[in-house]
C-alpha cells in the first residue's frame, strides 16, 4: 500500500487520533501507526457504523423539574463514564442542575490499558432543571458523549441534540420531539426507581450450629452502605448475634460524608451467634440496611426478616463479644468515614499507576511542610561550601544525589517499618544522636562565617583529592551521606500517604508496591529541593564581598536549623532565649547599631532596616523567655492582657503510658458518657508540636473537648512500653490520633495522621461526637 491513498486508513486514522490523545501515556504515535494495518484488516471501512446509530438517544421530561436522557447501546459497544459526558442548553430561562449519572460497570479497557467505567446496552441519566421560566414550553439539550467498539476503536467525543417538550404548569400530558445530528426519530423510555425490596434482595441460610450466611444483592446501578448493617435474632429462641464479618467494600466519594465504603455487587456476610444446646431449630434473622440508587435517590433504612433452619448443637455456644441491650449487632456508627490513609491504601492496591501519581503529588505538597523544608539550609550549605568551583551542572548533580539518597532512605526505612513494625526514624531521635548532628550544624555555620576552614588531615586530603579527581563531582559520596542522615534525623514525620504505604506493606506483604509508592512520594518531596539547588548554583555570586555575605546568610540558616532540632531535646524559655540571641546577632551583623554614613546606598539602608526589625524580634523573644513563655511563635503569650486564662485554655490531656492505662481511661470516659481521643505525641515529632501549639488550644477545639476525653501517649522515649502500645493499634509513629466510641471500641475510620488546622480538626471532632 505504500504511496496509495486508502479511504479506510483515513477514516480509521480520524478515530485513532482521539485514541492516541487518550492513551499517549502508554502508546506513542509510532505505535499507533503500526497498529493501523491490523485494525483495518479486522474492520472494513463500510463496517464503521454511525455514532447515532450505535448510541441511540432518547429523552423525556419528568415534570418540569427533571429530564431523563437514555441511550440504547448496540451490542459490543459502550459509552464511557468520563468528563466527556456533558449536558448543556441554549434555551433562555433554563438552567441545568448537575447530572445524576449511575455508576456503570467497572472493567479493564484494552485500548486505555487501565480500569474504566463503562455503560453497556442501556443507560439513563437524570438531568435536573434547576431553573425553568414559566413561559418555557420546550428545552433544547446538547448532549456530549464518547463511546467505543469493544477492543477495536473509539469514536471522538460527539454531540447529539434533543428537544424535549415540557408539561404545562397545570400538569398536561407530555409530548416529545427529538432531533439528532442524523435527524432520526427515536423512541421514548423511562426508568423509574425500583421498590426497596426489589433494589436490594436479602436471604440467609444456616451454615453451621453457630454461623449464618447473610447474602445481599443490590441491582445494577444500586449500592448498599457498609456501615449501615445491623443484625438481630427475633423471638425467644435463645439465639443472639455476637459478631458479623463484613468484607471490604468499594470506596465511594459521598458529597455529605466524604469517602465511604459501599457494596455495588452481591455481598455475603458471615454472622456468628450464641445459642443454647438443642436440636435443629427455625429462627428469624432480622437485618437492617440502607442503600441508594447511584447518583439519584437514597432509600430510608430498611428492616427485613428471613426465617432459616439452624443445625443442632450438642452444647451451648457463648458469645465472644457482648451484645447491646437490644441484642443487636451494629456494623458501625452512622456516617462512619474511611480514613484518608485507608482510602489511599485501597487506591494503591486497586489502581497502582494512578496511585503513584497521587503519591508524587502528595510529596510535592509535603515538600513545603516542616518535615522537608528544614533540608533547604542543609543543601544550601553544601552548595555554598563549594565556593568558586560551583557551576549550574555541578549544583544539579549535588542536589540530585542528595535527593536520591534521601528518597532511597525514606523508601528503605518505610519498607522495614511496614514489614517489621519498627520506625527507624524514631530510633535516630536519641538525644545523643541529635546532639551530635546539632554540633555538626553549628560547626558548619561557624565555618560559613569564616572563623575557620573545615579540612581533613593533609595526608588523607591528598588521597581523597586523587580519588575524587577520577569521579564526577568529587564529593558526591559525602552529599549522599548527608541526604541519608537528613531523611533519618531532620524530618521524622508520618503523613497520610506514608501511613497508606505502610498499611499496604503490612497487610499484603507487598514491599515492592509499598516501596514504589514511598519512592514516588520521596521524589515528589525532592523535586523542589532540586529546583532550589540548581537555582542556587545558577545565581551564586563569584568570590568577593557578596560571596561572604551569602555564606553568612546560610550560616544563620544552619544555626536556626540547629536550634529547631534542639527543641526536640530542650523546651521552654531556653529555646526562646536562643531564638532571641540569634535574631539579635543577625540584626547586629546587618548593621542595626551602626550609623549610616552620608550618601549611603539604598541597599545599606535596607540592611540596617532589616537589622532593626531582627533586633526588635530578638528583644521580644528574650522578654518572652524571662516571662516564662514556652512557645517562641507566641513569646508574649504570658504578658497578653487578653490571655490571662492561658493555663485554663490549655488542653487538659490525661497522660497515659501503657495499654492498661489506656483501657482504664477509656472506661472512665465511657462511664461519663463520653467518647475518648488518644493522641500519640513525641517531642521530636514536628507535626505533633504544631498540633499542640496551633490546633489543640484554639477556642473551637477547646469547646468540643468538653464532650470528649482527650488522652495523650508521650512516646518520646520510644521504649518497649511505647512500642507495645503503638503495635497494638498498628501505629508506626506519631503524629496519629485515634478515637474510641462510647462503648470503648476504636473507630478506625476516624483515625487522623499528620497535621490538621483548628477548623478541620473541629469539624472532625463534631462528627466523632455524632456517633452514639
pLDDT at 288 (0 to 100): 92
Average pLDDT over residues 289-294: 88
Question: Smallest Cα–Cα separation from 241: which of 355, 328, 370?
Answer: 328
Average pLDDT over residues 584-612: 84
For residues 567 and 575, is the Cβ–Cβ distance under 8 A? yes
Which residue did the predictor score with more confidence, 109 or 329? 329
Summarised one tens digit per residue, pLDDT across range 384-411 is 666 556 677 778 888 888 888 888 877 7
Which residue did the predictor score with more confidence, 512 or 41? 512
Between 189-193, 248-252, 714-718, the lowest mean confidence (pLDDT) is in 189-193
Which residue did the predictor score with more confidence, 751 or 512? 751
**Residue for grid cell 426497596:** 196
pLDDT at 231 (0 to 100): 92
Question: Smallest Cα–Cα separation from 302: which of 378, 218, 210?
Answer: 218
Query: How far apart are alpha carbons 568 and 435 in whole angstroms?
Result: 10
Give every CB contact of residue 591 below 8 A, 6+ residues apart in sequence: 604, 607, 608, 611
For residues 116 and 109, is the Cβ–Cβ distance under 8 A? yes
Between 96-110, 169-183, 725-739, the lowest mean confidence (pLDDT) is in 169-183
CB count, 10 Å around CB of 305? 12
3-state DSSP call for residue 503? helix
Summarised one tens digit per residue, pLDDT across range 294-341 is 877 888 889 999 999 999 988 988 865 545 545 667 765 444 445 555
Question: Smallest Cα–Cα separation from 215: which of 225, 205, 228, 227?
Answer: 205
**CA distances to 53, 239, 275, 401, 561 from 472, in Å:** 65, 76, 76, 12, 30
pLDDT at 646 (0 to 100): 42
3-state DSSP call for residue 149? strand
CB count, 10 Å around CB of 266? 10
Which residue did the predictor score with more confidence, 536 or 593? 593
pLDDT at 373 (0 to 100): 61
Summarised one tens digit per residue, pLDDT across range 475-493 is 677 788 777 777 665 554 5
For residues 565 and 431, is the Cβ–Cβ distance under 8 A? no
Question: Smallest Cα–Cα separation from 522: which of 413, 606, 609, 617?
Answer: 413
Rg of the chain, C-alpha, whole Å: 33
Summarised one tens digit per residue, pLDDT across range 528-542 is 888 877 776 565 545
pLDDT at 521 (0 to 100): 80
For residues 377 and 557, is the Cβ–Cβ distance under 8 A? yes
**Residue for grid cell 545565581:** 539
pLDDT at 510 (0 to 100): 59
Question: Smallest Cα–Cα separation from 446: which of 529, 531, 331, 559?
Answer: 559
Q: Answer whether residue 27 shows pLDDT above 60.
A: no
The grid coordinates of residue 177 equal 420531539
Which residue did the predictor score with more confidence, 332 or 661? 661
Please report how many Cα atoms fall inside a 13 Å half-sphere around the Cα of residue 683, on the Cβ side: 16
pLDDT at 385 (0 to 100): 61
Which residue did the predictor score with more confidence, 190 or 753? 753
Bridge partner residues of 170 (DSSP): none
Summarised one tens digit per residue, pLDDT across range 122-170 is 888 888 887 888 888 889 999 988 888 887 778 888 889 999 988 875 4
pLDDT at 657 (0 to 100): 92
Q: Answer whether residue 496 shows pLDDT above 60.
A: no
Percent of the chain's residues with pLDDT above 70: 69
Query: How far apart are alpha carbons 165 and 729 in whole angstroms?
Result: 60
| Peptide bond between residue 28 and the one before it cis (omega within 30 degrees of 0) | no
**Residue for grid cell 477545639:** 701
Most confident of 365-379, 459-473, 592-606: 592-606
**Residue for grid cell 479511504:** 7
Average pLDDT over residues 76-83: 77
Burial of 590 (0-12, 13-18, 19+ CB in 10 A): buried
Amino acid at each position: 500500500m505504500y504511496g496509495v491513498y486508502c479511504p479506510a486508513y483515513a477514516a480509521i486514522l480520524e478515530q485513532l487520533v482521539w485514541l492516541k490523545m487518550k492513551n499517549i501515556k502508554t502508546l506513542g504515535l509510532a505505535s499507533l501507526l503500526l497498529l493501523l494495518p491490523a485494525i483495518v484488516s479486522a474492520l472494513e471501512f463500510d463496517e464503521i457504523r454511525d455514532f447515532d446509530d450505535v448510541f441511540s438517544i432518547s429523552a423525556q421530561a419528568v415534570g418540569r423539574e427533571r429530564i431523563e436522557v437514555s441511550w440504547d447501546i448496540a451490542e459490543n459497544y459502550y459509552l464511557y463514564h468520563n468528563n466527556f459526558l456533558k449536558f448543556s442548553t441554549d434555551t433562555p430561562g433554563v438552567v441545568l442542575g448537575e447530572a445524576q449519572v449511575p455508576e456503570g460497570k467497572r472493567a479493564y479497557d484494552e485500548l486505555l490499558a487501565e480500569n474504566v467505567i463503562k455503560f453497556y446496552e442501556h443507560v439513563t441519566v437524570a438531568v435536573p432543571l434547576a431553573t425553568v421560566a414559566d413561559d418555557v414550553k420546550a428545552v433544547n439539550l446538547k448532549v456530549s458523549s464518547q463511546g467505543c467498539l469493544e477492543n477495536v476503536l473509539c469514536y471522538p467525543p460527539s454531540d447529539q441534540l434533543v428537544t424535549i417538550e415540557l408539561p404545562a404548569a397545570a400538569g398536561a400530558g407530555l409530548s416529545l420531539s427529538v432531533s439528532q445530528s442524523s435527524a432520526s426519530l427515536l423512541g421514548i423510555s423511562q426508568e423509574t426507581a425500583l421498590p426497596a425490596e426489589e433494589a436490594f434482595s436479602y436471604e440467609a441460610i444456616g451454615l453451621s450450629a453457630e454461623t449464618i450466611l447473610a447474602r445481599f444483592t443490590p441491582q445494577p446501578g444500586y449500592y448498599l452502605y457498609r456501615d449501615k448493617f445491623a443484625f438481630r435474632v427475633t423471638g425467644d429462641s435463645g439465639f443472639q448475634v455476637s459478631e458479623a464479618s463484613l468484607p471490604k467494600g468499594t470506596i465511594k466519594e459521598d458529597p455529605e460524608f466524604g469517602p465511604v465504603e459501599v457494596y455495588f455487587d452481591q455481598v455475603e456476610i458471615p454472622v456468628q451467634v450464641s445459642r443454647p444446646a438443642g436440636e435443629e431449630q427455625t429462627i428469624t434473622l432480622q437485618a437492617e440496611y440502607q442503600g441508594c440508587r447511584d447518583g439519584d435517590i437514597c432509600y430510608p433504612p430498611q428492616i427485613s426478616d428471613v426465617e432459616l433452619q439452624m443445625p443442632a448443637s450438642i452444647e451451648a455456644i457463648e458469645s465472644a463479644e457482648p451484645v447491646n441491650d437490644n441484642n443487636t449487632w451494629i456494623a458501625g456508627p452512622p456516617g462512619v468515614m474511611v480514613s484518608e490513609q485507608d482510602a489511599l491504601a485501597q487506591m494503591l492496591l486497586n489502581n497502582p499507576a494512578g496511585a503513584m501519581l497521587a503519591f508524587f503529588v502528595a510529596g510535592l505538597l509535603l515538600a513545603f511542610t516542616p518535615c522537608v523544608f528544614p533540608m533547604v539550609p542543609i543543601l544550601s550549605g553544601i552548595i555554598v561550601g563549594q565556593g568558586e568551583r560551583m557551576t549550574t551542572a555541578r549544583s544539579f548533580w549535588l542536589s540530585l544525589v542528595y535527593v536520591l539518597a534521601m528518597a532511597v532512605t525514606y523508601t528503605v526505612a518505610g519498607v522495614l517499618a511496614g514489614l517489621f513494625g519498627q520506625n527507624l526514624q524514631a530510633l535516630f531521635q536519641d538525644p545523643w544522636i541529635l546532639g551530635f548532628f546539632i554540633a555538626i550544624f553549628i560547626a558548619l555555620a561557624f565555618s560559613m562565617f569564616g572563623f575557620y576552614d573545615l579540612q581533613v588531615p593533609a595526608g588523607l586530603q591528598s588521597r581523597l583529592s586523587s580519588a575524587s579527581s577520577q569521579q564526577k563531582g568529587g564529593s558526591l559520596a559525602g552529599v549522599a551521606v548527608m541526604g541519608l542522615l537528613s531523611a533519618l534525623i531532620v524530618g521524622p514525620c508520618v503523613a497520610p500517604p506514608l501511613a497508606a504505604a505502610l498499611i499496604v506493606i503490612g497487610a499484603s506483604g507487598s514491599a515492592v508496591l509499598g516501596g514504589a509508592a514511598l519512592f514516588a512520594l520521596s521524589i515528589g518531596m525532592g523535586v523542589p529541593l532540586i529546583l532550589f539547588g540548581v537555582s542556587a548554583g545558577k545565581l551564586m555570586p563569584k568570590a568577593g564581598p557578596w560571596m561572604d555575605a551569602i555564606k553568612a546568610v546560610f550560616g544563620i540558616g544552619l544555626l536556626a536549623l540547629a536550634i529547631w532540632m534542639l527543641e526536640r531535646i530542650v523546651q521552654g524559655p531556653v529555646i526562646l532565649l536562643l531564638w532571641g540571641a540569634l535574631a539579635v546577632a543577625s540584626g547586629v551583623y546587618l548593621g542595626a547599631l551602626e550609623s549610616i554614613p552620608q550618601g549611603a546606598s539604598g541597599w545599606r539602608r535596607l540592611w540596617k532596616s532589616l537589622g532593626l526589625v531582627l533586633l526588635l524580634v530578638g528583644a521580644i523573644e528574650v522578654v518572652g523567655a524571662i516571662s516564662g513563655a514556652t512557645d517562641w511563635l507566641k513569646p508574649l503569650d504570658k504578658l497578653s492582657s487578653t490571655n490571662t486564662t492561658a493555663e485554663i485554655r490549655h488542653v487538659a490531656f490525661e497522660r497515659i503510658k501503657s495499654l492498661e492505662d489506656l483501657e482504664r481511661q477509656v472506661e472512665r470516659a465511657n462511664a461519663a458518657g463520653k467518647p475518648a481521643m488518644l493522641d500519640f505525641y513525641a517531642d521530636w515529632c514536628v507535626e505533633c508540636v504544631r498540633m499542640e501549639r496551633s490546633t489543640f488550644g484554639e477556642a473551637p477545639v477547646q469547646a468540643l473537648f468538653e464532650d470528649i476525653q482527650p488522652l495523650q501517649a508521650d512516646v518520646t522515649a520510644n521504649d518497649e512500653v511505647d512500642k507495645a502500645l503503638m503495635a497494638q493499634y498498628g501505629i508506626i509513629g506519631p503524629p496519629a490520633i485515634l478515637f474510641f466510641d462510647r462503648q470503648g471500641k476504636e473507630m478506625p475510620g476516624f483515625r487522623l495522621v499528620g497535621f490538621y488546622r483548628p477548623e478541620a480538626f473541629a469539624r472532625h471532632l463534631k462528627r466523632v461526637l455524632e456517633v452514639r
